[in-house]
Structure 1
């Protein structure tokens, strides 16, 4: 009886693996998007876009050049539904989920990039200045991670 129960459990577990393998027969996994959603504070939308233009655009170009990210986008939500909904999303495209793990070499590259853009070499001062510039303009809502897939023919 124990052998039959064990066999039944083993079969059920293996069916789950088969189903997952069959699902991947339908698509190929692609890169991963990290999407950060923000809500600009009242009357600060244009000022926040100006901040992004001055800082974010330069940083993204350097991150792409360094191979940290593949791409980045800024998305606007034209149909905001209430005070807890987002109006600006900042998206970063990574080659895979592994690129989201902490890596000291990547951290060092990012610190070098932000120091070049801001002109401030001291990390604490640079972070405090960046926070003081952007926090009055927007509130963080949430982060989502999405994987692109390519459907197989």
Structure 2
């Protein structure tokens, strides 16, 4: 008798657990945003903004047209401390899986920015204008 009661309790807990797992989440996974935190070097704001309005924008638009990203933005930040960014660059992807399209992204980048050597030189040239303080990835959770 005792084993039948124990079995009944186990079955009840199993069913309760399955029921809880079957409940729908109160959110759905949304787009993924990459944020890069940029500190502009003294006297280089106009130069860096010219880069963003030129080659950077061309690359982002090409990536958007190719369906690699859904959007991008540049935000000015009112930095309160010397180590905080002046700008935040954001790139929005439809989901985490979109980050796996490396070959497609490299092809678009090569078409817009040139060879790997040219892209590396461009990165070095931007190094005199700004410092990348870091970056982060975040996924929007859309509440139902």
> Do they fold alike, i.e. is TM over 0.5?
yes
Show structure 2 runs of 5+ residues with no match.
1-12
Which one has the largest radius of gyration?
2
Superposed CA deviations along residues 100-148 of structure 1, whole A, max 9, x for unmatched, are: 24xxxx3333333333333x3x32x212321232110100111111111
Could you tell me which runs of 5 or more consecutive residues in structure 1 were left unpaired when the two chains were aligned.
Answer: 1-10
Is the CA contact 1:73–1:92 (under 8 Å) kept in the aligned structure 2?
yes
Deviations 1:36-88 (A, max 9, x none): 111000111111010111111111111011111111111110x2022210111
Per the normalisation by structure 2, the TM-score is: 0.76
Contact 1:32 1:145 in 2 (8 A): yes
Taking the TM superposition and a 5 Å limit, the aligned residue runs for 1:2-151 are 25-77=25-77, 79-101=78-100, 106-118=101-113, 120=114, 122-123=115-116, 125-151=117-143
TM-score, normalised relative to structure 1: 0.72
> How many correspondences in the alignment?
130
